[in-house]
Structure 1
Amino acid sequence: MTRWIELDGVVNMRDLGGLPTRDGRLTREGRLIRSDNLQDLSEGDVRRLVDEVGVTDVVDLRSNVEYEITGEGPLRATPLTHHHFSLLAEDQDPDRTVEEALAVRWGRDESTPRDGDFWGRHYTGYLTKRPDSVAAALAAVRDSAGGAVVHCAAGKDRTGTVVGMALSVAGVPEEEIIADYVRTAERLEQIIDRLIRVEPYNRSLPTHSLEEQLPRAESMEAVLTHLDEGYGGAVGWLRASGWTDADVEALRVRLTV
């Protein structure tokens, strides 16, 4: 079972240790941690993550706009290694202002139903439009000195895609990867409550129901199918992105017992 990490400042943090792999191993505790936004961590939360959980690296998947508006967060004051990789295509334009980026991402037509197919297309878009950031985020996990926290805003979509790929490389079966992704539904209402009044999320979240935000199995299945059919799996995708066999093995060793 995956393990929730209960802190004052987050609601969707869990350690991905203890998951079985296809070759009889387990994922290692304290190596890969997924989370929602880390902006509200208390001093006690920070001490626990660093001193007890053993976090050394923070992999931030928020967009440039989110980062600029919501700020660095309390972990930036610690001597951890921080990585920021946006998965949004519009963030590739360095000359775009914050307001222009807000108009592109949060000023668009929001009438498309957010069902499982919508989210599946959204997630595979990260792989096709920002493969650089996805590969770099996985490299940060691979090269971390201790535990790596991967987070975005809700810890569901961008985080779910990256950690799902990491677990796939580790050899975790598809059904276990999907079950972990869907488990975020247990905290979804609390996640939305945290974000719905915060800029820039207050531009979009109030217009959609909780049902539309639910993590559904078919969304993660779409990611894994895309990887399997196009590349023979997550490992093949990473090789196509420039990873060597040694790079892949290093990630697998980092994540498994």
Structure 2
Amino acid sequence: MAVNNPSNFRDLSTFVERPLRPGTLYRSDHLGALDEDDARQIRALGIRRVLDFRGMRERESARCQVPDVAVHSLSIEPTIVQVIGDLMSAGHQLTGEDVVAHMQDTYRGFVRHSSHRFAEFFGHLLQSNEPTVFHCTAGKDRTGFAAALVLRALDVPPEEVMRDYLLTNERLKMDSSGWKLPPQAAKVLLGVQPAFLEAAFEAIEQDYGGIEGYLRYGLGLRDPERARLRELYLRTA
């Protein structure tokens, strides 16, 4: 079944060669603007668990519209919005290069300030492989990093991880008409670039010596937890 709204909704197993179990992990933009048909389609996928990375105001302004699911908040505040707002209020003329640099800082912050949230995320995934959707607002940054971590924890090669990450540029549909950003800055902010995700993995390399160290010491995924993830989310045949 294809779900068109939210636009960045997709089964994490679809676009990687590693044999992930289909119908267990979905990534998405937020679920707060669904009509009844959208919600029905998502419910028909069997989804019972929603993991929400949005900050408090984001959640309050667009609450999950899927009935009868368990919603778990893993709040990571969208600091990039505040940073850009402050710069514009100070009269700074934002360029695309400015936004790239601030997005890279955001992704480094996922590693250095929000690892506890991603550890909680894996804690939920380790409980069961009931159909789950994880999301933030646009499903591109907090969600994109979470998806990258899941795929790397399941030994998906980096090039496939990046391919899934960049699919957001093809899938996500956002209305930027109400934004007061220069066009080149808005274009960067509304999409994803390899440099964003690479900044997070550079921070992982600097702070943990690589992804294996981060999974183990930053997120608490030691050998038993990694084996459990593979059991839950990889096909056996």
Question: Counterparts in 2 of 1:158-197, with a 5 A limit?
Answer: 158-188=142-172, 190=173, 192-193=174-175, 196=176
Shift of 1:125: 0.4
Tell me the residue number matched to 1:54: 46
Tell me the residue number matched to 2:75: 86
Tell me the residue number matched to 1:147: 131
Q: Secondary structure at the match of 1:55?
A: coil
Separation in 2 of the partners of 1:145 and 1:47? 21
Counterpart contact for 2:110–2:200, Cα < 8 Å: no
Question: Counterparts in 2 of 1:225-236, with a 5 A limit?
Answer: 225-236=202-213
Tell me the residue number matched to 2:12: 16
Give the TM-score normalised by structure 2.
0.82
Residues 134-171 of structure 1 deviation map (CA, whole Å, 9 limit, x = unaligned): 11112222324412111111110110011111110011
Separation in 2 of the partners of 1:125 and 1:5? 33
Query: 1:29 aligned to 2:27?
Result: no
Q: Secondary structure at the match of 2:72?
A: strand
Separation in 1 of the partners of 2:210 and 2:196? 16
Q: CA RMSD in A?
A: 2.5
Aligned residue among 117, 121, 130 for 1:137: 121
Separation in 1 of the partners of 2:164 and 2:137? 17
Separation in 2 of the partners of 1:48 and 1:65? 27
Separation in 1 of the partners of 2:41 and 2:65? 13
Runs of 4+ in structure 1 deviating by more than 4 angstroms, as ranges, are: 104-107
Counterpart contact for 2:11–2:26, Cα < 8 Å: yes
Separation in 2 of the partners of 1:31 and 1:231? 29
Opposite residue 87 of structure 2, the aligned amino acid is D
Aligned residue pair count: 222
Separation in 2 of the partners of 1:121 and 1:130? 13
Counterpart contact for 2:10–2:28, Cα < 8 Å: yes
Aligned residue among 74, 88, 103 for 2:65: 74
Shift of 1:38: 0.6
Shift of 1:216: 1.1
Opposite residue 54 of structure 2, the aligned amino acid is R
Counterpart contact for 2:136–2:143, Cα < 8 Å: yes
Opposite residue 220 of structure 1, the aligned amino acid is L
Counterpart contact for 1:152–1:158, Cα < 8 Å: yes
Shift of 1:30: 1.2
**Unaligned segments of structure 2, at least 5 residues:** none
Tell me the residue number matched to 2:106: 122
Counterpart contact for 2:29–2:138, Cα < 8 Å: yes
Q: Secondary structure at the match of 2:132?
A: strand
Separation in 2 of the partners of 1:5 and 1:233? 36
After superposition, the Cα gap between the structure-2 partners of 1:256 and 1:208, relative to the gap in structure 1 and judged at 3 Å, is farther
Shift of 1:233: 3.8
Separation in 2 of the partners of 1:146 and 1:235? 26
**Unaligned segments of structure 1, at least 5 residues:** 91-101
Tell me the residue number matched to 1:246: 224
Q: Secondary structure at the match of 2:188?
A: helix
Counterpart contact for 1:15–1:33, Cα < 8 Å: yes
Tell me the residue number matched to 2:180: 206
Opposite residue 57 of structure 1, the aligned amino acid is R
Separation in 2 of the partners of 1:251 and 1:235? 15
Separation in 1 of the partners of 2:54 and 2:110? 12
